[in-house]
Structure 1
Amino acid sequence: MTVAGLSVTEVVELALMLVVVGALSGFFAGIFGIGGGAILVPVFYECFRLAGVPLEVRMPLCIGTSLAIIIPTSISSFRAHYKRGAVDMEILKSWWLPVVIGVVAGSVTARYAPERLFKIVFVGVAWSAAARLILARDNWKLGDVMPTGLLMRVYGFFIGLLSTLMGVGGGLFANLLMTFYGRPIHQAVATSSALAVLISIPGALGYVYAGWPAASKFPEVAALQLPFALGYVSLIGALLVMPTALLVAPLGVRVAHAMSKRTLELAFGCYLFIVGGRFVISLLSGS
């Protein structure tokens, strides 16, 4: 017996993998304010490869699904951080509009961009973040206070754009910027969780729009058809991952406020380096 071209055993293995990944993404959403996309995208890539999703649309399907899952986890994470008074609302007011404009630009790009672009963006951002997490020191700074005016809006635009092309909630970029301007890491994490809400909702809708033609272009691929997918958002993937992600996100918040993050930063930096390397191999081999 097969389901969408997979044996029952393979389907069960994929389902269990997605449930575990949901827990991991929710945990990291709480700890790092990253929405969990850096965990989800590479795992979805392997799952959709096994499900026979063509290379041409595999990466955008991973990213769109990741953004959809980030919606509830980021809301849960933001509420928990907000109750602790850790979110910098002034930064949020400065960034919300340019971030949303960047998300819209990224969604339009996703409809027409080649598949390689998504991998290049993921590798570039993942390895940059890995270097920052593993090598960063307290004296690495861009300034003592956050900028204002045009530069702040430019930062917001690129946070929205790159997050949408990478399938993350913006935490990788916001954490990097805020800590480079001397903001405490816990405040950076909390503010990033709010940005993830702004990025994930329009981002997921944008990938539904961007991937709308994919179902008719690949009618033989069940994973791209209703009721399994809506555009570049895999509904079955989202439904399997969301519950555990939602349950575990508040636990990640408690851990973030209760312990030193250095060991976790090192572990997450190594993870980003490894998954970035996986996509480099994919770019070189075309698989």
Structure 2
Amino acid sequence: MNELLVLLPILLASGVIAGLLAGLLGVGGGIVIVPMLYHIFIYLNIDITVAIPLSIGTSLSTIVVTSIMSARSHHKKGGIDWDLTKRWIPLVIIGVLIGSFSSKYIDASTLKFMFGILLVVVSLNMIISSFKSIIIAKQLPGNFGQSIFGLLLGGFASLLGIGGGTLMVPLLTLFSYPIHKAVSTASIFGLVISIPATIGYIIVGWGAPNLPVGSTGYVNWIGFIALVPMTMIFAPLGVKLAYRLNVKQLKVAFAVFLACVGVKMLLV
């Protein structure tokens, strides 16, 4: 408990960074929160078999609150594609359930490796998309193809502790989907993914040994309480800064940082 309180400023700082980047660059907080929580838990001498799912579950719990705020804002502006949302929701939820409960049977080192791969892929996409639009088709595939997308989105997002935006926005824009509508629609899926996924990580981690104080299953509420207010306060500031700073250069710099973190998670 004393060690967690000592690390409270780091948790608060993580929330600030996650909020700023979410507003400034449009990246989901989970992409920042998971690796930060992982390193904090490892510092506390929590075994990797607990540290990885605990980082993912706690990240998903924070996304519940932040995605509610984001979805409300986008709904007021009329940017959400409700037709696509209704088509994808059932498949995404099925994917979330598969991903959440699969985490119990996937080795923690494998999860860490998968997250490292995700960081590297996301960073490469951010760098390339900063200079050139990548489009592979003029429209989304048919119902079968979109069903596969929904399953994979829910599965990977819940398995790795990220919201919908990190995967959904790049995916939709590959098919000529308007970027503003992709961001708005992804905000709803952050909520669709995070609620059942958080419950799943609580159930899967229930009674797990060596959990730190303040944990219910694989969700640590001390981390939740420290992170959520900071992300909610600083995300709007990030949006304001986006209109004043050179976002392209910042995006590339952040992508390089993500790639370094990803490589570290792959190798160490």
| Fold equivalence (TM over 0.5) | yes
For the structure 1 residues 141 and 150, does the alpha-carbon distance in structure 2 shift closer, same or farther, using more than 3 Å as the test? same
User: Greater shift after overlay, 100-109 or 127-136?
Assistant: 127-136
Which string of whole-angstrom CA distances, capped at 9 and with x for unpartnered residues, describes residues 180-223 of structure 1?
11123222222221111111111111100111131xx33xx5x1
For residue 161 of structure 1, the aligned residue among 155, 159, 164 is: 155
2:140 matched to 1:146?
yes
Count of aligned residue pairs for this structure pair:
267
User: For the aligned residues, what is the CA RMSD?
Assistant: 2.1
Contact 1:34 1:168 in 2 (8 A): no
| Correspondence for 1:213 | 207
For the structure 1 residues 171 and 85, does the alpha-carbon distance in structure 2 shift closer, same or farther, using more than 3 Å as the test? same
Deviation at 1:121, TM superposition (A): 1.6
Structure 1 residue matching 2:104: 3-state secondary structure: helix
Deviation at 1:69, TM superposition (A): 0.7
2:170 matched to 1:184?
no
C-alpha separation between the residues in 1 aligned to 2:242 and 2:189?
18
C-alpha separation between the residues in 2 aligned to 1:182 and 1:173?
15
| Correspondence for 1:285 | none
For the structure 1 residues 151 and 160, does the alpha-carbon distance in structure 2 shift closer, same or farther, using more than 3 Å as the test? same
Once the two structures are superposed, the pairs formed by residues 28-39 of structure 1 within 5 Å of their partners are: 28-31=21-24, 33-39=26-32
TM-score by length of 1: 0.85
Contact 2:61 2:195 in 1 (8 A): yes
| Correspondence for 1:26 | 19
C-alpha separation between the residues in 1 aligned to 2:169 and 2:250?
14
For residue 81 of structure 1, the aligned residue among 74, 77, 88 is: 74
For residue 171 of structure 1, the aligned residue among 158, 165, 168 is: 165
For the structure 1 residues 164 and 47, does the alpha-carbon distance in structure 2 shift closer, same or farther, using more than 3 Å as the test? same
Report the AA paired with residue 195 of structure 2. Answer: I
Contact 1:103 1:163 in 2 (8 A): yes
2:240 matched to 1:246?
no
Percent of matched pairs sharing the same residue: 33
For the structure 1 residues 203 and 257, does the alpha-carbon distance in structure 2 shift closer, same or farther, using more than 3 Å as the test? farther
Contact 2:117 2:266 in 1 (8 A): no
Once the two structures are superposed, the pairs formed by residues 1-287 of structure 1 within 5 Å of their partners are: 3-4=1-2, 6=3, 11-12=5-6, 14-31=7-24, 33-136=26-129, 138-214=132-208, 217-218=209-210, 223=212, 225=213, 228-253=214-239, 261-282=247-268
For the structure 1 residues 254 and 89, does the alpha-carbon distance in structure 2 shift closer, same or farther, using more than 3 Å as the test? farther
Contact 1:80 1:253 in 2 (8 A): no
Structure 2 residue matching 1:183: 3-state secondary structure: coil
Structure 2 residue matching 1:111: 3-state secondary structure: coil
Deviation at 1:147, TM superposition (A): 2.1
Deviation at 1:123, TM superposition (A): 1.6
Contact 1:27 1:251 in 2 (8 A): yes
